Amino acid sequence: MFLLATLGHAQTNSVTATLRDAKSGEPMAFTNCVLLHTDSTFAYGTTTSDRGVMRFAMVDTGEYLLRISTIGYETYWQRLNVPPDTALGVIEIFQSSTTLQTVSVTAQRPLYSADGEKTFYHVEDDPSVQTGTMADALQNAPGVEVDPEGNITLRGSKNVTIWLNDRPSNLSEEALKQYIKTLPASSVKRIEVLNNPSARYGSESGAIINIITDQKVTLNHLLSVGLNASTTPYLQPWLSYVWSNEKVSITAWANGNFIRFDTKYHNNQRLYDSIGRLSTENTYDNREEQLNNQGMAGVHVTWQIDDATSLQAWGGGFGGYNTQESHYDIARQEYLFNPGDYSYHANYITRLPWGGAFGGLYLRHQLDTLGQQISFSINSNYNNQRQERDRERIYTVMSQYDMHYLRNRYMRSWWTNFDLDYTKPFGKNTTMEAGTSLVLGRNPEEGLWDTLDFATGQYLRDANRSCTERIRDNELNAYLTLQQKVGRLTLKGGARVYRKWKQAYFTDLPAETTQYDVDKAFWDWIPSLHASYST
């Protein structure tokens, strides 16, 4: 074991370099650095320190492409063989030759800054992304990568939760991808990256990328239309429309996904016993068709009621219909053990229609000019789907083994959460945050299993496999954080306390299965501590 550990350690390396501006010689801080495999797939990601130091730890031996990118500079590429290319020394990055005409920029602050657990990217101060989408802005955030499919990673990790305006987005994964790819970057004020969120956010969700979109803009109309397609075949149309003035901003968007898979499979197999006699002979032929059709539409409204109060409201719906058909022709002959012809034909058909809706609102009020504010939000989501499975297996000779069953599952779920948050600064260097949240969730599900009686041609209900379950997840939590600045040092500590209730009841089952019922209540808490130093 020690030998294997030593060998495993010997196969990893650290790749380091220092990035500097080729013209001024200044260090390149918070610059995105990515190691790609030779087929251009992602391998490792990092960002430089405030001194421009790039470091990849625990890099496997192999050949890579190094890509360095940041706004205002040309993308740097270098092919590496690791080892020996581990200490790359100083890499000079050249400014981009792109010239922006008729654009006047007044520098008020750096594009990147850090405070407490947050790293900020001030999108509104970056003219290079104003004509792009939110996905383009995210690419410039420290450590963030967005691939062509819309998947978001932070320093190579997929454990990232997207928040919109200090609240979880509450969108499905596909809907969130389309929303990010269609919303214009000009509606984004800043992007906050939290690698290790404090108790204010809760630590169960991993890293957080918080997108603040409530910047004030003048009258604006923007229509975006797009279509992604491939030979799978796969079609993904989307559109969005933004209308805004100094008080109101309205974003309407819609997208669809249409995918089809057709596969065929053939296999021959022979099995022999220990002395070389043919025991079993199998031939498999399989055809499968899969259709996935889904769509989603929504609207998001921001209203700046006055200088101190703003209101956001959003809502939408989604739905789809997925089908999968599999047809098998299996020729199976047993020669030694229970000899006979066990050939059969099988059909498996699954249908999954589903739909739902979501909505919510967020009210924020500024209590004074020093930063004291209170906010309230409510989010709700409803999902209803039905899964139908029709399966049969018909034997060529052994008809006593024939089977045909129908299985239907009806799944409905909804959840609603209420949040109240309060921020109170005590002077310029001390800030307190406090809040509470109530979460109510219901997940009723009904499963019906019917088996065909070939003698009578009637379907019979299988009582041992049919049941109804009702699941409840309720939660009440509260948090308190305190941030203190001492010169350039910022300290932030806090804790979040949970009270959770979980209940699950099963009905229509035999009496001996009642032990599966659950009724539990328990406490949980998450402490947090952050420290940052600004140079």
pLDDT tens across 341-371, in order?
Answer: 999 999 999 999 989 999 999 999 999 878 8
pLDDT-derived band at 3 (thresholds 50, 70, 90) equals: very low
User: Of how many residues is the chain composed?
Assistant: 535
139: left (phi over 0), alpha (psi -120 to 50) or beta: alpha
Cα–Cα nearest to 405, from 445, 454, 343: 454
pLDDT at 76: 92
Question: Looking at the predicted structure, is the pLDDT value of residue 487 above 60?
Answer: yes
pLDDT at 217: 53
pLDDT at 9: 45
- By DSSP bridging, strand 340-341 and strand 76-82 are unpaired
Question: Looking at the predicted structure, is the pLDDT value of residue 215 above 70?
Answer: no
pLDDT at 101: 52
Round to whole Å and give the CA distance between 72 and 128.
8
Tokens of 323: 């089908």
DSSP state of 173: H
More confident call, 85 vs 93: 93
CB 179 within 8 A of CB 253: yes
More confident call, 465 vs 291: 291
Render pLDDT for 406-429 as a digit per residue (tens, 0 to 9): 999 999 999 899 999 999 999 888
Question: Looking at the predicted structure, is the pLDDT value of residue 103 above 70?
Answer: no
Average pLDDT of the residues in 506-529: 81
Tokens of 267: 């296999």
Average pLDDT of the residues in 34-50: 85
pLDDT at 7: 43
Rg (CA), the chain: 29
Average pLDDT of the residues in 489-506: 91
Round to whole Å and give the CA distance between 303 and 357.
22
Dihedral angle of Cα 451, 504, 161, 57, to the nearest 10 degrees = -90
Average pLDDT of the residues in 199-223: 72
Round to whole Å and give the CA distance between 127 and 104.
9
Round to whole Å and give the CA distance between 355 and 382.
8
H or E stretch at 182: helix 173-182
Question: What integer best gives the mean pLDDT of the chain?
Answer: 85
pLDDT at 484: 93
More confident call, 498 vs 222: 498
Tell me which residue has tokens 């269609």.
182
Cα–Cα nearest to 167, from 205, 210, 199, 196: 210
pLDDT at 108: 54
Cα–Cα nearest to 163, from 171, 174, 153, 155: 171
Name beta bridge partners: 148.
Answer: none
CATH numbers and ranges of domains, the chain: 12-93 (2.60.40.10), 112-215 (2.170.130.10), 268-296+307-533 (no CATH)
Residue 321 φ then ψ, to 5°: -145, 110
pTM flag (> 0.95) = no
Question: Looking at the predicted structure, is the pLDDT value of residue 205 above 70?
Answer: no
pLDDT-derived band at 510 (thresholds 50, 70, 90) equals: low
Render pLDDT for 283-326 as a digit per residue (tens, 0 to 9): 999 999 999 998 889 898 989 898 889 998 989 998 999 999 99
Name the percent of the chain lying above pLDDT 90. Answer: 38
pLDDT at 216: 54
Question: Looking at the predicted structure, is the pLDDT value of residue 100 above 60?
Answer: no
Measure CA of the first residue to CA of the last residue in the chain; give whole Å: 45
pLDDT at 10: 47
pLDDT at 1: 39
Render pLDDT for 368-408 as a digit per residue (tens, 0 to 9): 878 899 999 998 999 999 999 999 999 999 888 899 999 99
Round to whole Å and give the CA distance between 114 and 193.
9
pLDDT at 214: 62
Write out the E strands in 169-233.
Answer: 190-194, 207-212, 220-230
pLDDT-derived band at 123 (thresholds 50, 70, 90) equals: confident
- By DSSP bridging, strand 144-146 and strand 118-121 are unpaired
Render pLDDT for 220-256 as a digit per residue (tens, 0 to 9): 777 878 788 888 888 888 888 888 887 888 888 888 8
